[in-house]
Structure 1
Amino acid sequence: MSDIIQILPDSVANQIAAGEVVQRPASVVKELVENAIDAGSTSIKINLKDAGKTLIQIIDNGCGMSATDARLAFERHATSKIKAANDLFAIRTMGFRGEALASIAAIANVELKTKRVEDELGTHLVIDGSELVSQDSIACPSGSNFIVKNLFFNVPARRKFLKANSTELRNIITEFHRITLANPDIEFKLIHNDTEVYNLVPSNTRQRIVNVFGRSINTRLIGIDTNTSIVKLSGFIGKPKNAKKKTDEQFFFVNNRYMRHPYFHKAVLLAYDKILPPDTVPPYFIFFEVDPKIIDINIHPTKTEIKFEDEQAIFQIIQASIREALGKFNIVPSIDFDEDRSLEIPVANQDSTEVEMPMIKVNHEFNPFEADTSFNPFEAEKSFNPFEQERNSIENNQFYQEFKSKPSSSTGASQKKEVPKDWDKLYQDREPDLIPDYPIGGQTEVKRPPVPDYFKQQESPQNQMQQKIFQREDSVKAQGFFQLKNKYILTPVRSGLMIIDQRKAHERILFEKFRSSVENNQGVAQQTLFPQTVELNASDYTLLQVIIEDVRALGFDIREFGKKTFVINGTPADIQNGDPKELLENLLENYKVNQLDVKVKVRENLAKALAKASAVNYGKSLTSAEMSAIIDQLFACETPNYTPDGKTIVSVLETQELDKRFR
């Protein structure tokens, strides 16, 4: 039997490594930009075509490479960061394993132009699918210029699974955020299809956050700064009232490297315990400075997951730091033990004469249970009565004497009071049908007056609608609709008690309306009194540009207005009393959660996102007519029992279950 173990060719091994390192265009951008940072660059430019599928170009002004280094950089495990095994425990650079360039060159057409400052000429390399095509000398600026074309050109199965351009661009912007926030002292430019998306100048951390996420975030930030023997924490957290469902404004950085850490994320949420709105996450930008010896960054191919030596202690430090910051800004109730809050108690003057306490005489023989209830304890002894003096002063008052001289109604005397002449007719035309009847042993029953002839003659649409509403409320009460905790609608049915989630029910109703509108392009816009301007970050701005026609089909009257800005002139008519800016932001936020690439599904997802963003909130008190309307419209839907996300809307508590509870 022949041997079956063989060594893989370098081209195949590089493609396998590329499967771990290069998953999409964003992975290429991440690896190349991190290499530029390690090269000491102060300015980095990123140029993209078709969300990186056609072209990714990274230009930096770093140290550059010699001709030999440029060629060796594309070999597997070639790196300038590590020389011995002990160096793995003192890593402060971004890339170090030497797999990035080899993996990228295995699945794309790559060109490199690079030159060191001290060299007169640079080096130009062309590599296709791990094969060196050419290497020449060239005149070029100092630094490096990487050009990656036709990503996954030789792996069609991988290229087929790439998402739409809008999705891939958002993934690139996400990686761009992670890198730029960790390096605020470096200039970054991002250009997509010849359109400038970002132009970030060197600044401090807070200003970089504002430049990335917009000016509105500046007033929502609270600084944190804690220094311990284990870790040093710095950065910013968001105010609880500004927390949103967004999950793209939460960042951890360790030694200027972005990381994901679910355990530390839980620490942040626990620090905000009981002060966050439901289902929201606060923004945070937290920077860790630790000794590289106590962390392990080599546990994941993309190096985004990092293991700490003492995670439990850091967990507690994070909680304490955030709570302290929230307390300083009076976000949560706190007690300042350093502040002098002692009461000022006056000290008695030693030279003053002693004052006797006042004495009150009391008849100790008085018994309230004796038969003679008219006995007055104050008549036995002339004790002091403070009310007697007040009563005497009232009796001597002129107005009191006049009131006392008037005949009392209890004596049967009747004396007509003099009132203004017009007031005599106030109750003249009062109909006896309006007077409530009080049956003996029953509840008060109010008789409604008959409909005046005027309304019978004037059958206007408004009057007809008003009569229908009255009839509708009577029928609702007859059916027995009740609202529980301003969250559930309860009504008895034949099998037991039906419970309906009011928000989920409204979400299903709106979803089917919006889906019909966007599929038929029949959305109706309700014009706003004052147009609102919305400034979006680059990710949301790019997304809205792609889906803006479908958004208009829903009923939004919206147009682009300047850089990363839109003006909202109208919102869908089915949405009542919604803030247009907040509605649009929630629409984009919910849309990004489950974005799909098929056009029909995109429109359905858009309708789902708008329904979730505009459905009635929990805590809203509903009238009988509103509860009836929700139930009627819900059971007119195609799928009344479940939300578009598949969550239960209607549940029936059967009579048998109720009987069991009372046994």
Structure 2
Amino acid sequence: MSDKENKIRVLPEEITNKIAAGEVVERPASVVKELIENSIDAGAKRITIRLSASGLRLIEVIDDGIGMSEQDAILAIERHATSKITSAKDLEAIHTFGFRGEALSSISAVSQFVLTTKRLQDNTGTQIVVNGGILKSVSSVGSPQGTKISVNRLFFNTPVRLKFLKGLTTELSHCIDIVQKYALAHEDVGFKLFHNDKLLFDIPPGMNLYNRISLIWGKSTVSEMLHIKPVTHNLFSNESEVMPITIYGYVGLPSLTRSHRSHQLFFVNKRPVSSRTLQYSLEEAYRNLVMVGRYPVAILFIELPPQWVDVNIHPTKKEIKFRDERIISKHIVTTLRNQLSLIPGQKHYDSPQITPQITEKQQPVPAVSAYSNIDTSSTFIDNSDIEAIPKSTNDSVENEPVESQQKTITEDTHIFFNTDRDKTHISSNEKQAQEEQPSLLPHPIFSEFVPGEEIPIQVFDSYLVLPEKDRILIIDQHALHERLNFEQLKKELQEKDFVFQQLVIPILIEVPSNYFKILEDKKEIFQKIGIDIEPFGENTFQITSICELYDEGKIKDIVFELLEEMVQGDLFEKENYFESLLSIATKACKKSVKAGDKLEPMERLYLIKGFKSLTPPYTCPHGRPILIELTLQQMEKSFRRRQ
């Protein structure tokens, strides 16, 4: 067989280094993480991080650790060269952050890399220059004790990697997030972070965890957190071995929640990790204490013998696996629940039905105030066909059966539908949409109005039932009203036809450092969705005015939720990102009826009138369906009238 027919070959070292770099170095934040871990392993007490252009132009990490000799410095940039382990047995009990010997080799393969280091006992330091994985020079230089690593022009020789990075603001946010996590975990180490020569934060060594959380997340957040003091317990695993475990940190009160899990930080032996086991355990401890769709806030530390946890799963060492996940999860849940049970007056949410049921003794929701904002200009029902309806001043109608209410309204107020005129309101686009989704649309032309049939029935104080000729529509009143508010908000904001309501007392918001740059750069986006926000010193912003449709009490939570959505990075790559932001902002709208609100007949009619103006898809702004359909054919099959 000739050499030309041989297809398998050993790759050159230059290519294998770039492949390995792709596993370890995903973005600038990956470089920051690896270099900080090396500094901590070297015993550093002060670490300074300097970034330029969010780390794409320069990442520089300076520490006062033990430093390296010239020979060690040269070996450090070789693949699988490390001082952390010496045998395979060491992998079963890893005490350091690094151990794979891949970080510096991978980083130097995709950057212009300069390492300067000096030990205390050496007269001069050593400087090594590597360009794209190729060693350029080794020289002696004057240097203080410790190590300085400069990473210039990251991914300069792999331009395709640059295309997968997000915007500069997002990449900076990820870098800040990494530094903050290690700053929280190491109280004995000081951290300074600069970006474009601007100091972002300075955490001195010895600052306790409470003050570090206060500096990073804000005083208002840490004031609503519960201190879990470190207590060690001996657990017995399935293997009949004793496992000492210590849990400590800070967890939020049940009133402190977020719409994302971004404020759930877990550390195992002070290593920031991602673990479904820990995530589940935390949320299980808060079950029935927080509302559905909200997530608790926590900074949780777990200390256990290194042989009980495997960190050698992925090159980034972020994912871990416990030897006995069940017993660890159970212990975390028990520990947190015991602490949370000591908080007096906690509200429990025993079911997804968050809003309590409204009793008949409570006053009904005023029809005009609740629905006066619905845009009905394009509905199938003409406003001129509905005459003024006098508001009842007693509860006689409220206590009558539904049929009696409908009869009273139709006889006294002369509500009727002009179906001939309705035909002219149906555009060609609406007809096409109705043909494409006949099972979800109201009939294009509603049947002739029969007194008592068009007022929808309300069941369980949450759903509207609308009978039609050959089907029944069951509509979620809360989801429908949210959608109507969303459509109105979108229309007013897009047409800039809204009024800013000046706040008498501005709302102050403390944001974490990784949110600060995003909020500073995206102020115009917030203004477009009706929130006027401006800096107020350090990491604090103030909201000075809001769209008149917003509820002032909800706006602070919505700003945090919008920031959490923006920090994901790919939001602004979406063609309809504005609608994505609006769907979140809708949660701050006033006047959305809830499940459990008892509605008067005219309020139900207004909701149905708004519903008929909508176009598919029939969902609320957050993707939940507005209606379900029960057809005559389905009912006949259920009653075995047809096969």
Paired residues, number: 536
Q: Which residue of 2 aligns with 1:214?
A: 218
| Inter-partner Cα distance in structure 1 for 2:301 and 2:190 | 20
| Inter-partner Cα distance in structure 1 for 2:504 and 2:474 | 38
| Inter-partner Cα distance in structure 1 for 2:603 and 2:292 | 24
Gaps of at least 5 residues in structure 1 are 335-433, 437-441, 452-474
| Inter-partner Cα distance in structure 2 for 1:476 and 1:236 | 61
Gaps of at least 5 residues in structure 2 are 235-242, 349-393, 397-402, 414-449
Shift of 1:78: 0.8
Q: Which residue of 2 aligns with 1:111?
A: 114
Q: Which residue of 2 aligns with 1:261?
A: 275
Letter in 2 for 1:290: L
Letter in 1 for 2:120: V
Alignment of 1:166-565 (within 5 A): 166-201=169-204, 202-224=206-228, 225-229=230-234, 230=243, 231-330=245-344, 479-516=454-491, 524-565=499-540
Q: Which residue of 2 aligns with 1:348?
A: none
CA distance 1:642–1:8, shift in 2 (3 Å)? same
Instruction: Select which of 547, 553, 556 maps to 1:572.
Output: 547
Q: Which residue of 2 aligns with 1:22?
A: 25
Question: Is this contact kept in 1: 2:25–2:31, CA < 8 A?
Answer: yes
| Inter-partner Cα distance in structure 2 for 1:170 and 1:135 | 34
Deviations 1:224-269 (A, max 9, x none): 3442222122222221122222311112211111122212322222
| Inter-partner Cα distance in structure 2 for 1:651 and 1:217 | 41
* Greater RCO (Cα-Cα under 8 Å, separation 6 or more): 2
CA distance 1:647–1:619, shift in 2 (3 Å)? closer
Q: Which residue of 2 aligns with 1:641?
A: 618
Shift of 1:631: 4.0
Deviations 1:200-221 (A, max 9, x none): 2232222222222111122322
Q: Which moved more, 1:298-307 or 1:538-547?
A: 538-547
Deviations 1:76-130 (A, max 9, x none): 0010101122211221111111100110111111112222222222222221110
> TM-score, normalised to structure 1's length?
0.74
Q: Which residue of 1 aligns with 2:42?
A: 39
Question: Is this contact kept in 2: 1:244–1:280, CA < 8 A?
Answer: yes
RMSD value, Cα: 3.2
Question: Is this contact kept in 2: 1:588–1:609, CA < 8 A?
Answer: no
Instruction: Select which of 64, 81, 84 maps to 1:81.
Output: 84
Sequence identity percentage:
36
CA distance 1:614–1:118, shift in 2 (3 Å)? farther
CA distance 1:580–1:529, shift in 2 (3 Å)? farther
| Inter-partner Cα distance in structure 2 for 1:630 and 1:28 | 54
CA distance 1:516–1:88, shift in 2 (3 Å)? same
Instruction: Select which of 623, 629, 633 maps to 1:656.
Output: 633
CA distance 1:558–1:295, shift in 2 (3 Å)? closer
Letter in 1 for 2:214: V
Q: Which residue of 2 aligns with 1:138?
A: 141
| Inter-partner Cα distance in structure 2 for 1:533 and 1:658 | 55
| Inter-partner Cα distance in structure 1 for 2:621 and 2:107 | 40
Shift of 1:319: 1.5
| Inter-partner Cα distance in structure 1 for 2:113 and 2:156 | 12
| Inter-partner Cα distance in structure 1 for 2:525 and 2:227 | 40
CA distance 1:488–1:113, shift in 2 (3 Å)? farther
Letter in 2 for 1:217: T
| Inter-partner Cα distance in structure 2 for 1:130 and 1:272 | 49
Q: Which residue of 1 aligns with 2:13?
A: 10
Question: Is this contact kept in 2: 1:595–1:602, CA < 8 A?
Answer: no
| Inter-partner Cα distance in structure 2 for 1:304 and 1:656 | 54
> What SS does structure 2 have at the residue aligned with 1:328?
coil
Shift of 1:41: 0.8
> What SS does structure 1 have at the residue aligned with 2:291?
coil
Deviations 1:491-510 (A, max 9, x none): 33333222233343344344
CA distance 1:196–1:603, shift in 2 (3 Å)? farther
> What SS does structure 1 have at the residue aligned with 2:296?
coil
Answer yes or no: is 1:583 the counterpart of 2:558. yes
Question: Is this contact kept in 2: 1:518–1:607, CA < 8 A?
Answer: no
> TM-score, normalised to structure 2's length?
0.76
> What SS does structure 2 have at the residue aligned with 1:110?
strand
Q: Which residue of 2 aligns with 1:101?
A: 104
Question: Is this contact kept in 2: 1:236–1:285, CA < 8 A?
Answer: yes
CA distance 1:58–1:213, shift in 2 (3 Å)? same
Letter in 2 for 1:533: L
Q: Which residue of 1 aligns with 2:424?
A: none
Larger radius of gyration: 1
Answer yes or no: is 1:56 the counterpart of 2:32. no
Shift of 1:643: 4.1
Deviations 1:364-408 (A, max 9, x none): xxxxxxxxxxxxxxxxxxxxxxxxxxxxxxxxxxxxxxxxxxxxx
Shift of 1:72: 1.3
Shift of 1:280: 1.3
| Inter-partner Cα distance in structure 1 for 2:53 and 2:451 | 57
Question: Is this contact kept in 1: 2:170–2:569, CA < 8 A?
Answer: no
